Each structure stands twice: as C-alpha cells, then as structure tokens.
Structure 1
Amino acid sequence: MAARLFRGSRRWWGYRCALPSPARCSHSGGEERLESPSAKKLTDIGIRRIFSSEHDIFRESVRKFFQEEVIPYHAEWEKAGEVSKELWEKAGKQGLLGVNIAELHGGIGGDFYSAAVVWEEQAYSNCTGPGFSLHSDIVMPYIVNYGSEEQIKHFIPQMTSGKYIGAIAMTEPGAGSDLQGVRTNAKKDGSDWILNGSKVFITNGWLSDVVLVVAVTNREAQSPAHGISLFLVESGMKGFIKGQKLQKMGLKAQDTAELFFEDVRLPASSLLGEENKGFYYLMQELPQERLLIAELAVSASEFMFEETRNYVKGRKVFGKTVAHMQTVQHKLAELKTHICVTRAFVDSCLQLHEKKRLDSATASMAKYWASDLQNRVAYDCVQLHGGWGYMWEYPIANLIKQTKTKL
C-alpha cells in the first residue's frame, strides 16, 4: 500500500497498489459483491459492499503479513507475554499502523474501511498479541485530534513507523469504567506538571514508548469530569515505572502491565489539548473505540464459525460426518444467521462512522450486541467440537479463553 497515497505506491508482498483514501469512493459503482450470507466463507476476500477491489488487494497483503510474520511466532510470544518489538517495525514498514491517520500528519492516509481490514484480518489470524488497533485507532487519534503541531510531528511519524508504541492509561486499582473516580493526579509546579498515581490492566503498557495518561488536575471542579486532563508520558522519564506484566487467563501474547508514576516531572508540552478538558476528549472518542470492539468481536465470531464448520465437515461418527446430523445443521444455520445479522449492523456502523455520523448510542449498541454474540458463538462452537473443543491443539479451545478475557 502507499505511504504516499495520493502521489504514488509501494510494493506490498508482491502487489503494487494505492490504498483507498477518504477522498475517494468506498466502492466502485458498477462492482457487484456478495454479502456475507451468500459468500462461500464468512472470511472470504472480495465480499461485502462497503469494500472495493482496492480494499481486497490491501486485505490480501494484510492476510499474508499475518500468515508469514505473526502466526508462526505467536505461540512463542504467548509464553513470553509480549510480541517482539521487531514485529511492530515490520508492521510499520508494511503500512499497517496509522492506516486511517492523514498523511499530512505522518500517517498512511487510508480510509476508515482500510483500518477495519487490519482489525478483521488480525481476528481471522486468531493472533491476539499485537496491540495494533489500540495503538493506531485509539491512541493516535487523540494525538491528531487534540494535540499541538509539535506533538503531532514528534509522535505520529514514529508511531506510524512502529518505532514508538502507544498505550492509553485510564483504569486504576480503584477506578475502572468510573473515570470520574480517577485518583492519579497532576499538580502544577511553575510551568511543569508533577504526576503521581498508578494504573492497571494497561494494554501495550510493558512495550509502550508513549502513554496517554488520564489524571485529575482540578479537584475543586464543580464536577469531577471537569477536572480531568490528558498527558503524554514517554518511557524513560524519571519516576515513570513499569510494574509487572500481568498474567491473564487469555490474550497471553498481548502485554498488559501495571504503571506507576512517582513525582514524574512533565513539561507543559506534555499536556494534550486544554487543561481540564480530558473527560470531554474521552467522550468524543468513545464511538470509534466501541465500534472497534464490535468489529473485532463479529470478526472473531466469523472465524470461530468457519473453524467449527470445517471441523464438523471432517469429523466422522457412526459412519457419517458430524455435519450430516440435522441438529448440528440447525445449530450452524442459527449461528450463521446471528453472525450475518450482526455483521450487517456493524458494517452499517462502519459506514456511518466513515461519514462522521456514528453516535455514541449506536456504537454502544454495536459493542454490546457483537460482544454478546462472540460469547455465545464461542460457547456453541466448543460444544460442536465435542470433547476435542477442550483440547489446546484445536483453536476453538483457545478462542473461548480469549473471548472471556476480552469481554
């Protein structure tokens, strides 16, 4: 895909193509494409009307990247509790980071559907370790949307290249979803800020080079929401300590860490956006973050369905394949129906978001519905595998564990 998307192209795994940009139509008018219910497989390339042939070429290259650079090493990374930093730089060279960030800011400059392709292909690879989506589609947008020109120039090109890994630190031991209960605080000292507090369950936290930290800056505010600010804290700053890598039930290759801030002196340039506007910024970005979770959930459901369908078509009992049993056929039909209906809803949300029209309520519905679906699909697919569904050599056993950890 193109690093200079409007002016040239880059060779990607044997392909030469230009990544679709937001300024271009998301699909060609005369192009006929199957929707998920009619496709041979739910994970096929070349289906769904929100995508174009250019997206298909991009998808082929992304799929090949995961097949060659991620899948062979993922078991090793699960033991280590983190992926290699080298993978991040390889992803940067292949244009998989900052896909939807404008080129003028140092990103790749593709449309939002191109970013969704990366999310989907990671789910289809069944490799949960690389925290690419959080880095590219949660952390980077904050910097682009609310950062100064200097912050954008300093961080975005480095994050697009994979040389800087981003994380966001909201959750605390005593404050999870209740952001108004945050205790981490930053106090002014001249033109600087002194940051103190701790965060927990921080994805990309161990490998992070820059962390977007949510902190209280005005305890006297009329509402706690009016006294929160965001800070960009770089690895290596005095007093910024990375605690242990947390040992999770699933998502074992995805590094998750505790972070501690002990009198970390931050220059004024570390403040992201305006003082005490942090809660507002967080609320503004929620629709995309919720949509990301919904998209990953329905994509994981599609992968689980295809894995299970392949299994029952090959497994024989009483002289027939399991797929010949009518009860199994009914269950597969039910699962596919639920998945395809959810896919249609999530694709509609992707279209709304590409047009800047996705509201928080609709994004919340998508997140709730798709996440609940993933949980149900994981359970049913394990049952359809019989006893083998609990054996680690079958992907479905690992998938139900990943589902429980993520949800």
Structure 2
Amino acid sequence: MAASAVVRRGVSGWARRRLLAGVLQLRRGCAGLAVDDTVNGLSEEQQQLRRTIGKFCQEHLAPKAQEIDQQNEFKEMREFWKKLGDLGVLGITAPAEYGGSAMGYLDHVLVMEEISRASAAVGLSYGAHSNLCINQLVRNGNEAQKEKYLPKLISGEHIGALAMSEANAGSDVVSMKLRADRKGDYFVLNGSKFWITNGPDADVLIVYAKTDPNAVPASQGITAFIVEKTMPGFSTAQKLDKLGMRGSNTCELIFEDCEVPAENVLGHLSKGVYVLMSGLDLERLVLSGGPLGLMQAVIDHAVPYLHVRKAFGQKIGSFQLMQGKMADMYTRLMACRQYVYNVARACDQGHFNSKDCAGVILFSAECATQVALDGIQCLGGNGYINDYPMGRFLRDAKLYEIGAGTSEVRRIIIGRSFNAAFK
C-alpha cells in the first residue's frame, strides 16, 4: 500500500510508520516459503513446474492481488491470460495437436495451487477456463469442435466458462429450467444461468439446457452446448458483487431466443448429464488446488509476521500458543496436499472416483477456512484490517465450501457411495 494512501486516510505519523513497516514485512512474506516437494512425492519435473509457475505468479500476479480484490476487477486479465497461454498451462491437459501440453491432473492441480497462492480470485477464473471449459471440450468434443475452439482457448486469445447453475438450480443442478428447443439446424435457448464464473468475460461457454423437459428421470433430458458470446440472443447481466473471489468476474447469463447450431451440441443429445457428472468430479479435483494455494498463502504471510512482531519483549512466534497455530496450519495444509495429490495421481492412472473427488474439495475447503481464521488470529489486530490480506484469504476460502457443490452435497456424495456398497 502506498504511503500517500495511508496519509489520505488520516493515520497518525507514528501509526503510519508502524502500519507501513508491517505491510512491507508482509510483502516480503509474499515471496513465499519453501515447499518440501520431496515429502509431497513430486517428480523433478513437477517440482520444476511448481517453481516456474510460482515464480511467474509471485512476480506478475501477487503484487496486484490486493488491488484486484479492492476494485473487484482484474483489468489486465486478457494480457495475463495470453502469458498463461505462452507458459502452456491453459491447455495443460489438452493434446499437443491443439496446442496443449498433454500433461496430467496432478500437474493441473499444481498450477491451480500456485496461481491461487498469488491470487485466489484469478486462480478460480483459471480453473473455470482450463478445467470446466477446455477439459470438457477435450473429453467430450468431436474433432471439428476441438479444431475450432481449442487453439484460441489454449493460447489465451479467448476466455472460457461453463454454465450449469441457475438461480433455483444450484446443487440440484438437474432441476435447471433453461430450455433448448430444436428448430431445424438450430436449437433455440431461452432462460438464464446464474453465478457463472468468467461469465462477463467469456468468449466461449459450455452451457447445459433442457432439451427434453418431460424426460424421466429429469437428468436424461439435459444437453450440453458450445455457445459463443457473439451468438444473437445471448447477453450477460451486470456482474455480481461478491463477498470474496473479487476480480473473478461472475454474472447471470441471459438467453432470449438464442440460436445455437445443432453442430454445437457437446456429446450426445439429451445425454449431457454424463458430460456434466464426469466433469464435476474433475472440477472438484482440480479446484481443490485453490484451497491448497490459499493455505500456503496464509502461511507465507503469517509465519514471517510471527518472527518480526514483538510482544512482552520477544517475537510472538516464540510463544507456545503461536507455535501451536503454526503447527496446526502447516499440518492441515500438508494433510490436504497428500490427499489431493494422491487422488490426482489416481486420475492420471485412469482411476476416477466420485467419492474421493468430492472428498478432496470437502476436506481442503474446510481446512482452508480454518487456516485463514488462524492466520487472522496470528496477526491479531492487523489481521482484521484490510491493509493486510488475511481477511481476503478468509473471504476467498469460504467460496470453496459453496461452489462446485456445497460441503453438504459433498458429504451426501460420500455417504451415498458407502450406502451403495450395502445394497
């Protein structure tokens, strides 16, 4: 934070010096503490991937994270997206023939983690683009669709999104009301989608709609479509003013007689639920890298602070209760890492498990919220003012207990998987 900004707020000279000293120390913490990836079981290539993306994000993104949050806008998003494209991480799981890097889900998680470590909001937008949009196209698109849409999404020239949720169809997503009626060589879409990450910015969107409203069960009447923002009848409403993840733009999508070519059906007609559900498992896995990055960011900022701030004549990190906070934050993060990384490895080997994909986001999200609360406590009064990033970490972490299926829904998925074994 600039000194002039503090002066404008009317802070006294003594308090200003103290505040600036703390903020500068915290910025030094932003460089990041070392991560022991030998313990994490990463290969040398994966460790190098973390170092490369981490260094890039700490240099080009982390210094802007507070401003992005405060302004609820990432003005340089398209330029940053092209840089991510140059690094090869937008299409990290896409085949090389479309410009992708042909890497695995563990690699995807690591990139998600390091971007989120610098800015959770930008990390969320990255996840929506690289996994929800690009990976869905890779897994379910036909050759013509892949050739048409993947190259520009992978290069960063285009921004992608996915639209499932509606105002009255969040966790119960198959109750969606968006209609798609066949008219010759087109489907005409009418209705809306809500809470759509990247919605205001997206050039290409994967949209789910009801093509057979009378289907029983209702899930059998859903179809996935590839929608372009320039298609007549498509528009976006004003972006939402969110508690956290500010700068990751979210909005309502409006479809008013929006004509989508039949050739833009993704997968099979009225079989979109299979695209949706398989995509949700991988969405939960990849997005679980977000809470990992947030927890690491909390530790990056809290631990240096504890070794500079003094009370009662000694650094507060020497107090046993603060040592306990450091231990709790660290062990929560490391336990989450092992779970997330192992599930990602299993997916890379072709073993996909809905129970554990729900489990990793459930566990890591709730741990991230607790770690953020502990980080605020470590900073005391400074943790409660917005000149420091701890409040942002907490607000951002809470999203992961809600998006991609709430914590309650994740518990239902896990519980039902056990029940199914006893039928």
Aligned to 2:80: 87
Structure 1 distance, partners of 2:212, 2:316, is 62
Aligned to 1:327: 321
Structure 1 distance, partners of 2:323, 2:50, is 30
Give the conservation status (yes or no) of the 8 Å contact 1:50–1:351. no
Give the conservation status (yes or no) of the 8 Å contact 1:180–1:225. yes
TM-score, normalised on structure 1? Answer: 0.85
**What's the Cα RMSD here?**
1.8
Aligned to 2:346: 352
Structure 2 distance, partners of 1:42, 1:282, is 38
Aligned to 1:51: 42
What 5-or-longer segments of structure 1 have no aligned partner? 1-40
Structure 2 distance, partners of 1:218, 1:49, is 47
Q: Partner amino acid for 2:97?
A: L
Q: Mean Cα displacement is larger for which, 116-125 or 217-226? A: 116-125
Aligned residues: 367
What 5-or-longer segments of structure 2 have no aligned partner? 1-31, 402-423
Give the conservation status (yes or no) of the 8 Å contact 1:43–1:302. no
Structure 1 distance, partners of 2:299, 2:122, is 21
Structure 1 distance, partners of 2:330, 2:260, is 52
Give the conservation status (yes or no) of the 8 Å contact 1:171–1:202. yes
Q: Mean Cα displacement is larger for which, 80-89 or 261-270? A: 80-89
Structure 1 distance, partners of 2:49, 2:291, is 21
Aligned to 1:392: 386
Superposition deviation, residue 387 in structure 1 = 0.8
Give the conservation status (yes or no) of the 8 Å contact 1:70–1:127. no
Superposition deviation, residue 49 in structure 1 = 4.8
Quick one: percent identity of the two aligned structures? 31
Residues 42 and 288 of structure 1: is their aligned pair in 2 closer, same or farther, counting only changes over 3 Å? farther
SS in 2 for 1:81: coil
Superposition deviation, residue 114 in structure 1 = 2.4
SS in 2 for 1:265: strand
Kindly report which structure 2 residues correspond to 1:210-229, keeping only aligned pairs within 5 A, or say none.
210-229=204-223
Q: Which one has the bigger helix percentage?
A: 2
Structure 1 distance, partners of 2:338, 2:240, is 36
Aligned to 1:22: none
Aligned to 1:61: 52
Choose which of 113, 118, 134 in structure 2 pairs with 1:140: 134
Q: Does 1:113 align with 2:115?
A: no
Q: Partner amino acid for 1:129?
A: V
TM-score, normalised on structure 2? Answer: 0.82
Kindly report which structure 2 residues correspond to 1:176-195, keeping only aligned pairs within 5 A, or say none.
176-195=170-189
Residues 272 and 201 of structure 1: is their aligned pair in 2 closer, same or farther, counting only changes over 3 Å? same
Residues 74 and 374 of structure 1: is their aligned pair in 2 closer, same or farther, counting only changes over 3 Å? closer
Choose which of 382, 390, 398 in structure 2 pairs with 1:404: 398
Higher relative contact order (CA 8 A, sep 6+): 2
Q: Partner amino acid for 1:372?
A: E
Superposition deviation, residue 276 in structure 1 = 0.5
SS in 2 for 1:188: strand
Aligned to 2:96: 103
Choose which of 184, 191, 196 in structure 2 pairs with 1:197: 191
Superposition deviation, residue 203 in structure 1 = 0.5
1:354-386 C-alpha deviation (Å, 9 max, x unpaired): 112130011111111111111111112111211
